[in-house]
Amino acid sequence: MAQDYNSIKNMKNLSTQNYWINIDKPYGYSSAKVVAIVKRITKAKKVGHAGTLDPLASGVLPIAVNKATKTSDYIMKAEKKYYFEITWKETRDTDDFEGKIIKTSNKTPKTSQIINILPYFMGKIAQIPSKFSAIRVNGKKSYELARQNKEFELQPREIQIRQINLIFNNKQKAGFEVICSKGTYIRSLNRDICERLGVCGYVSVLKRLKVGKFDIKNTISLDKLKNIINFSGVDDSIFNLRDVLDFMAEIALNDVLTFKIKNGQTIPIKSDLVANNQNDLVKIINNDEIIGLGKIFDNNLKSVTIFNNQ
């Protein structure tokens, strides 16, 4: 993902720069804990993440540092890829291995049966989220209510599954890869697969492989992040804003227009980009560096976010 034009080539002063880190979240850590660790390591003023991973899950956790946090919403909307395993013969209340066993069965599905039902989960579908999720119900997180055995219902949500493949299957468990939209709950997908097959099962392994352009192949561990910052190293898992937002069109401004846009002025734009990007977000570039995001309307450009360094 890193580009030649503006990649972060040295790790000095990372406490003040605006960038993204592709962290490989370890099993057992909450996303909030990873954010706290990165903030301590980098000494940055502000750190956030794009897309929560449960403690039981591992894999890609994009971390935004300083004003990169203002772009988190655009990354969270990106398509995601997961690998997960279903262990057969038990149903658990949380639909994962941390839950209580609420049902058992010796029945296990044949590989052909699994392959035959997978098309039911392709495309746009309605999914009821797990009750053991962070969705708020009357101001409280649903998992808190579920742990208190409170009665409540969650409404179905539309999600999109672009691809789902069976990797292996045996009498003990099966492995799957899925490419899906924001808002997809893998534990709920497990639940629905098991219900359609008429078997018991729970998620025993969950690893996120991709979030948009953030790929598991380019992740960095927390320990390695600490080492490269302590020793002023360089790493391909750290990306600047221009790299991460390369799906957006960009408009280059001279110093005079940059001064105006930074001070909230709307400026007229003459560019081939204008016709195709009305009301779309674009990157604002000055001296080959991203300075913010703007919106084009009626052949004018207005800033939405400015990324001044700290």
Buried-state track 267-299, b at ≥16 Cβ within 10 A, e below 16: bebeeebbeebeeebbbbbbeeebbbbbbbeee
Phi, psi of 66 (to 5 degrees): 55, -130
Q: What tokens does 198 get?
A: 């008429």
Tell how strand 249-252 and strand 281-286 pair up: parallel
What DSSP assignment string belongs to 23-50?
Answer: EEEPTT--HHHHHHHHHHHH--S-EEES
Angle at 64 between CA 61 and CA 70, to 5 degrees: 130
Buried-state track 130-144, b at ≥16 Cβ within 10 A, e below 16: bbbbebeeeeeebbe
Strand partners of residue 177 = 83, 165
Give the start-end residues of each E strand in 79-181.
80-88, 90-92, 101-104, 123-127, 136-137, 140-141, 157-169, 173-180
- Coil, strand or helix at 96: strand
Beta carbons of 168 and 174 less than 8 angstroms apart: yes
Q: What tokens does 44 get?
A: 């940055």
**Catalytic site includes residue 54:** yes
Q: Active site residue: 54, 93, 96, 243, which one?
A: 54
Measured between alpha carbons, how far is 40 from 37 in angstroms, rounded to an integer? 5
Residue with tokens 């300075």: 291
Q: What positions carry a catalytic annotation?
A: 54
